[in-house]
């Protein structure tokens, strides 16, 4: 086999309180990644629908960097053309750069019969993330690879647990970031009171998934003392918006991954209403792209014909 075509889901990382350890795959939308092996010994990248100037230099592209890290570590000399067919907005906290990295390592594992374990694929893919946010976090790449809800249980070595995810209704307001990453502004000194609550909310997220209780899930994702204060502050009207969306009946509201997209957990009955409201609230934000009505999903990267 010389080539493979892969579909990659968008993912919502952190899922409220689970900074760098939680992420969940979403049903809409996805990008397509095509890999073609060749004899050049060179990794090359093409991006179709490249309206956002996604870099095609290997070291600046998450997919290219992940492939390079994999080849370096396994002493592989191999030419490969990576074609990224963009359908989803990048740089908006929807995990698309991580998903591209996961797809490339998943595809190369298959094409070159490398027999990598899921944790090894995640480990190489996360090294690609450095090209995007400067940090090798594993949450997005793991959810993209495995689908469902993931818990990064350990970073050294990488150990990821996957949970089957009930299909909870989600509304996303897609907004791009005004700066490359806000990670550098996050403070980890949250104090013992907030630390207790943060841990309790993380536990509640897992419990809500096991109970398949979207209301409890929404309540649990609503609180985060680590990333939300910084990312929320970078989104105009964020706290007002959160208040309005919860008042309209959503169960929870938070920032998706590194932002600036935000997501609401709601019931199927009020998903349309919440979507309209979020559009109304954010439509004048200069970084606003669209509102997407979707659900949490159990589908990860997969080969398509
Ligand atoms: N956990 C990462 C962060 C996800 O919060 O920076 C980035 O999408």
Here the tokens at position 102 are 């996961």
The finding on whether 107 has its CB within 6 A of some atom of ligand 1 is: no
Q: Is the CB of 139 under 6 A from ligand 1?
A: yes
25: tokens are 């795959």
Q: Give the position, in ligand 1's atom list, of the atom nearest the Cα of 98.
A: 8
HEC-encoded secondary structure of 78-110: CEEEEEEECCCCCCCCCCHHHHHHHHHHHHHHH
Distance 259 CA to ligand 1 centre (A): 8
Both structure tokens of 3: 């080539």
Architecture of domain 169-295: 2-Layer Sandwich (3.30)
Q: Give the per-residue pLDDT at 50.
A: 87
Question: Using 50, 70 and 90 to split pLDDT, how confident is the model at 1?
Answer: low
Name the residue at shortest CA distance from atom 8 of ligand 1. 257
Terminal CA-to-CA distance of the chain, rounded, Å?
Answer: 13
Specify the length of the chain in residues.
305
pLDDT at 134: 81
State the closest ligand 1 atom to the C-alpha of 13, by its place in the atom list counted from 1.
Answer: 4
Instruction: Calculate how far, in angstroms, residue 19's C-alpha sits from the geometric centre of ligand 1.
Output: 7
**Tens of pLDDT, residues 207-266:** 999 999 999 999 999 999 999 999 999 999 999 999 999 999 999 999 999 999 999 999
Q: Which among 137, 230, 255 is the best mutation to test ligand 1's pocket, defined by most ligand atoms within 8 Å of the CB? A: 137
Answer yes or no: are the C-beta atoms of 262 and 228 closer than 8 Å. Answer: no
Tokens of 241: 């918006």
Task: Tell me how far the alpha carbon of residue 288 lies from the centroid of ligand 1, in angstroms.
Answer: 19
Rounded Cα gap, residues 272 and 85, in angstroms: 29
Listed residue (294, 291, 256) closest to 167, CA to CA: 294
CA 137 to chain centre: 10
What CATH number should be reported for the domain whose range is 3-164+298-303?
3.30.230.10
pLDDT digits (tens, 9 = 90+) for 111-163: 999 999 999 999 999 999 999 878 999 999 999 999 999 999 999 999 999 99
Q: What are the residue ranges spanned by the domains of the chain?
A: 3-164+298-303, 169-295
Specify the residue for token string 């009930």.
Answer: 166
């Amino acid at each position: 086999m010389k080539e493979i075509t892969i579909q990659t889901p968008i993912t919502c990382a952190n899922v409220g309180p689970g900074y760098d350890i939680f992420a969940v795959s979403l049903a809409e939308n996805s990008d397509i990644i095509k890999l073609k092996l060749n004899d050049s010994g060179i990794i090359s990248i093409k991006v179709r629908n490249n309206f956002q100037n996604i870099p095609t230099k290997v070291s600046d592209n998450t997919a290219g960097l992940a492939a390079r890290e994999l080849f370096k570590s396994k002493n592989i000399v191999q030419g490969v053309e990576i074609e990224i067919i963009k359908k989803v907005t990048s740089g908006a906290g929807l995990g698309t750069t991580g998903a591209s990295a996961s797809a490339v390592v998943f595809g190369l594992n298959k094409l070159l019969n490398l027999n990598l374990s899921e944790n090894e694929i995640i480990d190489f893919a996360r090294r690609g993330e450095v090209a995007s946010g400067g940090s090798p976090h594993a949450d997005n790449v793991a959810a993209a690879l495995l689908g469902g809800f993931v818990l990064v249980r350990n970073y050294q070595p990488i150990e990821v647990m996957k949970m089957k995810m009930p299909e909870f209704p989600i509304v996303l307001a897609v907004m791009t970031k005004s700066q490359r990453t806000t990670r550098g502004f996050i403070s980890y000194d949250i104090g013992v009171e907030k630390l207790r609550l943060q841990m309790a909310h993380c536990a509640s997220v897992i419990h809500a998934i096991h109970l398949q209780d979207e209301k409890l899930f929404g309540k649990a994702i609503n609180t985060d003392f680590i990333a939300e204060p910084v990312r929320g502050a970078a989104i105009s009207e964020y706290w007002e918006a959160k208040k309005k969306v919860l008042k309209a009946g959503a169960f929870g509201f938070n920032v998706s991954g590194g932002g600036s997209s935000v997501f609401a957990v709601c019931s199927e009955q009020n998903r349309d209403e919440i979507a309209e409201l979020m559009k109304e609230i954010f439509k004048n934000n200069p970084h606003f792209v669209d509102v997407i009505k979707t659900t949490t999903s159990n589908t990860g990267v997969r080969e398509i014909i």
